[in-house]
Chains A and B, each alone.
Chain A
Amino acid sequence: MASVVRGVVKAIKEKGFGNFIRELREEGYIRCLADGNLLKTKIHSIGATLVGVDKFGNKYYEKLEGIQFGRHRWVEYAQKGRYNASQVPPEWHGWLHYITDHTGDELLMLKPKRYGVEHKENFSGEGEEFIYHSKGHTLNPGQRDWTRYQSWQPAKKE
């Protein structure tokens, strides 16, 4: 506990109070007071090793001692307000689910350069504009116009 307080005092000294509070909010320490999941993750992360951070800012932790095997890897999502599992990019998925011991940073090397697409999280339930509709889908905005003819434009006269 004393070390935590010492760390806080040191951080305030280095960054100034305003910056410290902002960082506190960005890191989710404010929000975790209301969000039990987040609080649990924060407490869990004390003493764990940070294995990597992906390009979205999700942090991947691992702790080998004093924890049940199979629960020793976890992620702290970059978004503190709205987080879900689809925010984990594929290269980290394997590491996180104990499929492989290679971290996402290592697996990123294997991503095809030419046709590898960017990871997109699942926006289901987040509103029409987030949802991807394929080209032929009725709800694709590009497909709304079913007119298959071109009408004569009177303005073209003279």
Chain B
Amino acid sequence: MTLLRLEPRGEASRAMVYATPLLAVALTLASGFLLFWAMGFDPVKALHAFFIAPLMSLRGLGELAVKATPLVLCAIGLAIGFRANVWNIGAEGQLTLGAITGGGLALAFYGEGGWWLLPLMIVAGMAGGALWAAIPAFLRVRFNASEILTSLMLNYVALHLLNYLMHGPYRDPDGFAFPESRLFEADAVLPLLVAGTRVHLGSLFALLAVAAGWFLMARTFIGFQIKVIGLTPTAAGYAGFNQKKIIWLTLLLSGALAGLAGLGEVAGPIGQMNPTISPGYGYTAIIVAFLGRLHPVGILLAGFLMALSFIGGEAAQIALGLPKAITGVFQGMLLFFLLATDVLIRYRVRFGAKRAVVGRAAA
């Protein structure tokens, strides 16, 4: 005797595709409420500190944009790949490489920069990310090696490379052997967009990426090919779409965007090279991509939401003395509830047992 049944819908529900992210957010808040309550905090106050207080000042909103920027940049690229069934899990490493190559230029031309340095760093950052993504692309196309594994493993390689550089070539000569570089000079730092905040040019790039990502997927023939390959590879083969080309394209594109995100961090809010450039933006971007339904506009919204979880987590650490893990808990709950509620897209919930029909069959 079941009280709750799942009944398959004839076709996917359009409404639920958009409703389930909201439902997931609501369930996350509800669980957060219970969690804080069980831990002995005033849940209303705690949720306020986590989700509302950071939004109540210009500075807080600015921080939101600063955190959302790398998430959105990475997620746009990842989502385009995911649409083509190219599972790049390596945005974190590509982001790191973008910081290494772009930031390396800032250090190499330290004291001899000019107006040309920043554009060059941007190009180098994108190239670095793309180069790192080219490795899984090559391995996939040439040896059919799963890009999920290769791109993931390269994240650790990138992190170790960064650590090596920070303890060696990139270290500030006057830094008392701390693994930090010199502060970038003004020529090597992204200009601020809004006075009184840390919002920098990278945020504009993120918005451009949203628009370009939408245009690519919705209007271009490449976008159509990406969709078909992702949905039905055999149909793409029948139509004559070059799958290898699409694998290369999507990986290079997402690598370049992640590299841009990394460069934006070191040439933006951080302003120097250090061993902890990213608190896991490249991984969180995977959640952002799915939470945003792999749609650029959805990703923009999801990017802000996840940024809020980072900032709120920090605020909760300060205001309530909660451990750092609280950020991960909320992000995890959000993804969990999203995946769980996704079942509603193809199924509807029915209450009560199938009594009437069963009775007739038995009669």
Pair from one complex: no
